[in-house]
Structure 1
Amino acid sequence: MKTPNLRSPFAGWYAIRNRFGSWRIDRRTPPVLVGALGLMLVAMAINISVGEYPIPLPDVLRTLFGLPTGNADYSFIVTTLRLPRMLVAALVGLALGIAGAITQGLTRNPLAEPGILGISAGASFAAVALIVVVRTAPTSAVPVAALAGAISVALVIYLLAWRGGDSPIRLILVGIGLGAICNALTTLMITFGDIYDVQRAIIWLTGSVYGRSWPEFWSLAGWVAVFVPLALALARDLNALHLGEEVAYGLGTPVVWRRGLLLITAVALASATVAAAGAVGFVGLMAPHIARRLVGPDQTGVLPAAGVLGALIVVVADLIGRTIFAPIELPVGLITAVVGAPFFISLLWMQARA
């Protein structure tokens, strides 16, 4: 193969082609992506149609495609109230699924998820402090505080875990320790806070997409648009890192640099979801495991599959939460916890047997 002239104006194109030219995915991945995406769209349409003001499913589809329905209220209910909520739910699941796959690949621990690094705990601590302690802060500042808390904790974790090189085990241990500290401080504030403020904080901590509108969607979509493509571009490096540092170095992977970039990507995706919808747990644990069962261990297939499956999980969880005890709505984080906790226990049991 002819070596390109690096001084050529096409040198950048050669670099991009070499980077992505051999990017291949398992043949099982496209059917899984199409199937999960189709199920997610069906769940979203059903979710939009149900509620205190039910809308026939054909009218939901007509409204989404801009066709007349004979009822002027449908447009407001679908496009202003329910559609942005569904899109936020899908993006939250997408980001958590990919962040979970990256976390498990980096730490080489199948039980890892973004929450194990203390990211969710840091976001929760900052948000609860704003709600319970500051009190006068506007509601719109809560997502900003959550995002700042998640990023701050992630930065502290990485700095403390760095000692002549980063270690996956050290990252987990430091993350668990800082997460425990943040959770303890959060519990302390809830215990001694005003009852009204505490109720607001607990609802936010549970994880919910209730009342989410277009501003929340566009804010989250910006993070997803930047970091999801970056995660997919780093999938081959994640394959190498998952095999161990020595193998990764042997394959020519700049381990410290790539690991740091992948960690930043996972933190950004996870913290953005906490800022948009609160702490939605176990999605980052379940989606990568299901993806690996369906598409194999190659991260070039696991990452996109985990993202789409994560979106499906959150949308279906929100549908269950809205319908199981209607007209009472359960937070999506409660549904994912009810399903995710037994899933986590089964993983522990299988690992103990192995």
Structure 2
Amino acid sequence: MSAGRVAFGYRTQTLRSRLLSGRVGIRSLVVSAVLFLTSLGLATVALTHGDYPLTLQQVFAALTGAEQGFERTVVLTWRLPIVIAAVVFGALLGIGGAIFQSLTRNPLGSPDVIGFDAGSYTAVVVTILVIGTGGHWSIAFAAITGGMATAFVVYVLSYRRGVQGFRLIIVGIGVSAMLGSLNSYLISRAEIEDAMTVGFWGAGSIGRVTWAPLIPALAVAAAIVVSAALLAPAMRRLELGDDAAVTLGTRPGPVRLGLIVTGVATAAVVTAVAGPIGFIALAAPQLARRLTRSAGVSLPASAGMGATLLAGAHLLSLLIAQAYRPVPVGLITVCLGGCYLIWLLIRETRQRYGLTL
């Protein structure tokens, strides 16, 4: 360590702008860039698959404007919004998972496990089956409102001289179970057509995403990313504990509330457009953490991993559809994420209790 410099244990790069400044690890930057490039590569390959197969040359010709025929309509109008949704929504879920895993200091902390996805889904079920409206803006408003309301309920019920991560997760799981029972009751009492609509939407599918709902979702996603970037330094200080955060000039209460709202918004936006897509928010931060070898979760790396996972799941769903029949991407993420959750529970149990399983 040279005079006047601090050794952080890993190579870092200082980034400065008029509004923000910070120090990031070189490895984290490289991993984040590679993950985002991988997600873009998977998304590009996904553009070639479908009922009307295309080559990569045809896709690039359509994207650059060299092709003006039917292939351009297929790529730009039908498939491009879907692959953009896969990358952006995956990144949002990765950010949301990183925020809650940082707040709870627990790898099980994610919007889908805590129950915020269930709140958004319940609000949509009530909107379609009880109120009787299925318009896009009605569903989007219901999903965002339901997610925020569920977050408020979980926060209040888990608050006792502060919010503890384990208590937040347990209360969230209980609230999610109650909402799941309500959803099952409403679906069982609904007409068969409405029940099928709600059930398919609840499976989580980006295959029906169009430009109309995607453009406003991208605007909201940009605001969420900016909010997460502004709160990221304070989030890192909160990981040191409230007392240390206060010493470093951070007010834990307002910062924690801002992080919760931002994290819930990531899941609510995705649910509003594509339905609940599970386990991306759970797995992405921890997988990214292992690649970056960082002490805590990294928002950029988690976003890149989330984008890669959802883009890969979308491509896999297209390959399955060609070989068998269409499968919603949410079912694929649940199947793969379930295996990850089992492994994570076994690992946490072994570490906590020193068991050999």
TM-score by length of 1: 0.89
Which sections of structure 1, spanning at least 5 residues, go unmatched?
1-15
Q: What residue in structure 2 maps to residue 172 of structure 1?
A: 169
Query: Amino acid of the residue matched to residue 65 of structure 2?
Result: G
Matches within 5 A, 1:108-187: 108-138=105-135, 140-187=137-184
Q: What residue in structure 1 maps to residue 20 of structure 2?
A: 20
What is the CA deviation profile of residues 3-43 of structure 1, one whole-angstrom value per residue up to 9, with x for unaligned ones?
xxxxxxxxxxxxx969733x111110222122112211111
Q: Is the 8 A contact 2:33 2:304 kept in 1?
A: no
Q: What residue in structure 1 maps to residue 349 of structure 2?
A: 352
Q: What residue in structure 2 maps to residue 192 of structure 1?
A: 189
Query: Amino acid of the residue matched to residue 64 of structure 1?
Result: L
Q: Is the 8 A contact 1:166 1:256 kept in 2?
A: no
Q: The residue matched to 1:49 in structure 2 has which SS?
A: coil
Query: Amino acid of the residue matched to residue 243 of structure 2?
Result: E
> Among residues 291, 316, 320, which one is paired with 1:320 in the alignment?
316
Cα distance in structure 1, aligned partners of 2:169 and 2:249: 25
Cα distance in structure 2, aligned partners of 1:111 and 1:32: 23
Cα distance in structure 2, aligned partners of 1:131 and 1:18: 46
Between 280-289 and 160-169, report the one with greater CA deviation.
Answer: 160-169
Query: Amino acid of the residue matched to residue 317 of structure 1?
Result: A
Q: The residue matched to 1:330 in structure 2 has which SS?
A: coil
What is the CA deviation profile of residues 194-228 of structure 1, one whole-angstrom value per residue up to 9, with x for unaligned ones?
11111111111110101211122212111211111
Query: Amino acid of the residue matched to residue 322 of structure 1?
Result: L
The Cα shift of 1:139 comes to 5.1
> Among residues 80, 83, 93, which one is paired with 1:83 in the alignment?
80
Q: What residue in structure 1 maps to residue 10 of structure 2?
A: none
Between 204-213 and 108-117, report the one with greater CA deviation.
Answer: 108-117
Query: Amino acid of the residue matched to residue 97 of structure 1?
Result: G
Cα distance in structure 2, aligned partners of 1:298 and 1:99: 18
Q: What residue in structure 2 maps to residue 42 of structure 1?
A: 41
Q: The residue matched to 1:132 in structure 2 has which SS?
A: helix
Q: The residue matched to 1:24 in structure 2 has which SS?
A: strand
Matches within 5 A, 1:264-283: 264-283=261-280
Q: What residue in structure 2 maps to residue 231 of structure 1?
A: 228
Q: Is the 8 A contact 2:157 2:171 kept in 1?
A: yes
Q: What residue in structure 1 maps to residue 65 of structure 2?
A: 66
Cα distance in structure 1, aligned partners of 2:221 and 2:137: 20
Cα distance in structure 1, aligned partners of 2:220 and 2:61: 30
**RMSD of aligned residue pairs (Cα, Å):** 1.9
> Among residues 237, 240, 244, which one is paired with 1:243 in the alignment?
240
Query: Amino acid of the residue matched to residue 30 of structure 2?
Result: P
Cα 1:283–1:136 change in 2 (3 A) is closer
Q: What residue in structure 1 maps to residue 354 of structure 2?
A: none
The alignment status of 1:339 with 2:336, answered yes or no, reads yes
Query: Amino acid of the residue matched to residue 23 of structure 2?
Result: R
Alignment size in residue pairs: 335
Q: Is the 8 A contact 1:113 1:285 kept in 2?
A: yes
Q: What residue in structure 2 maps to residue 290 of structure 1?
A: 287
Matches within 5 A, 1:306-317: 306-317=302-313
Cα distance in structure 1, aligned partners of 2:303 and 2:45: 21
Query: Amino acid of the residue matched to residue 52 of structure 2?
Result: Y
Q: The residue matched to 2:166 in structure 1 has which SS?
A: helix
The Cα shift of 1:177 comes to 2.4
Cα distance in structure 1, aligned partners of 2:84 and 2:114: 26
Q: The residue matched to 1:310 in structure 2 has which SS?
A: helix
The Cα shift of 1:100 comes to 0.1
The Cα shift of 1:164 comes to 4.5
Q: Is the 8 A contact 1:91 1:220 kept in 2?
A: no
Identity over the aligned pairs, expressed in percent?
Answer: 34
The Cα shift of 1:131 comes to 2.2
Query: Amino acid of the residue matched to residue 42 of structure 2?
Result: A
Query: Amino acid of the residue matched to residue 65 of structure 1?
Result: T
The Cα shift of 1:325 comes to 3.5
Q: The residue matched to 2:207 in structure 1 has which SS?
A: coil
Q: Is the 8 A contact 1:208 1:332 kept in 2?
A: yes
TM-score by length of 2: 0.88
The Cα shift of 1:298 comes to 5.1
Cα distance in structure 1, aligned partners of 2:268 and 2:43: 24
Query: Amino acid of the residue matched to residue 215 of structure 1?
Result: A
Q: What residue in structure 2 maps to residue 30 of structure 1?
A: 29
Query: Amino acid of the residue matched to residue 335 of structure 1?
Result: I
Q: The residue matched to 1:324 in structure 2 has which SS?
A: helix
Which sections of structure 2, spanning at least 5 residues, go unmatched?
1-15, 352-357
Q: The residue matched to 2:298 in structure 1 has which SS?
A: helix
Q: What residue in structure 1 maps to residue 101 of structure 2?
A: 104
